Amino acid sequence: MSTRYYDNILSKLESFPSWSPQNESVLLEPYTYITSNPGKEIRGRLIDAFNLWLEVPTSKLAVISRLVSMLHSASLLIDDIEDDSQLRRGQPVAHKIYGVPQTINTANYVFFLAYQELIALRDQDDFESKRGQRLDAIVTVTDGRDYVPLVNLIGVYFQIRDDLMNLLGSEYTKNKGFAEDLTEGKFSFPVVHSIHADKTNHQVLNILQKRPTTPTLKIHTIDYMRTRTKSFEYTLMVLERLEDQTRKEIRRLGGNAKLEGIIDFLSVQPIRDGAYTESLAENIH
């Protein structure tokens, strides 16, 4: 085999190798896969709703929305690996199709692309400078109204609601599998309540450590949490209080019809009214 190729290797190393659209497509394939089956786009709707107050220019808002979507989707690729999930939005998770190494590489690359866009956004001439706004204070407007506490409150509400629906909601069973938080050994809000509600009984903690994959232990755990420690009832009461505080804060800040609509969509009232009773009964019995 000839070594002539290496005779003038320095000249070859002086130029960057070409990066084709095909290379880009291959590297982004796990990301393309997960984004081809979008969720409810709650984050995009929240951005749009808060912009009723913030009035960020349309072109820049589009970039911010795209950045949030990129970061969220990339984080889901990593989360599914960490949790050893099987399903995401009713389809096999990306790393089960493309493998863990490629999926991690893709997620990291998307983080890098998002950072590039963020730098470009920051460097745009006169970006919000004449309006006294900065990216690190994007949720605070010049009239002194601070929206950060409301954003945090919605985040807490959304997470606790997600914890509850993972164990009760039929849609979560379809999209992620039945009570996957138990399989993943997660100390979710209702699980933590159940553990602390009766510290003389270690059933839930022991089952959680076993990370059950079959329905039998999961059904037993959910029934125990429902009937013995009343953890679902407790979680519902907490969510109702958080929902009430969220609505009051929205009104205090001047009202926001789009944001109210999102809270209506996420409201736990249908659960209280029995909308999920049938699916819960099917899972338990």
Strand-pair partners of 146? 140
Q: What are phi and psi of 91, to 5 degrees?
A: -125, 160
Inter-axis angle of helices 277-284 and 215-227, nearest 10: 130
Contact 184, 211 (CB under 8 A): yes
Query: Does position 127 have pLDDT exceeding 50, yes or no?
Result: no
Strand-pair partners of 92? 87
Please give the pLDDT value at position 175. Answer: 59
Lowest average pLDDT, out of 188-197, 208-217, 268-277, goes to 268-277
pTM over 0.95? The answer is no
* pLDDT band with cut points at 50, 70 and 90 for residue 136: very low
Contact 57, 124 (CB under 8 A): no
Query: Does position 143 have pLDDT exceeding 90, yes or no?
Result: no
Q: What is the rounded average pLDDT of the residues 164-190?
A: 83
Please give the pLDDT value at position 238. Answer: 96
Q: What is the rounded average pLDDT of the residues 261-273?
A: 87
Query: Does position 137 have pLDDT exceeding 90, yes or no?
Result: no
Total residue count of the chain as it appears in this document: 285
Please give the pLDDT value at position 178. Answer: 85
Inter-axis angle of helices 231-252 and 148-168, nearest 10: 150
**CB burial of residue 247 (10 Å; 0-12, 13-18, 19+):** middle
Query: Does position 272 have pLDDT exceeding 70, yes or no?
Result: yes
Contact 154, 246 (CB under 8 A): yes
Express as a percent the part of the chain with pLDDT over 70. 85
SS3 content of the chain, % helix, strand, coil (to 5): 70, 0, 25
26 vs 170 pLDDT, higher one: 26
Rounded distance between C-alpha atoms, residue 176 and residue 191, angstroms: 18
Q: Tell me how many helices (H) and strands (E) the chain has.
A: 17, 2
Please give the pLDDT value at position 284. Answer: 40
Q: What are phi and psi of 262, to 5 degrees?
A: -65, -40
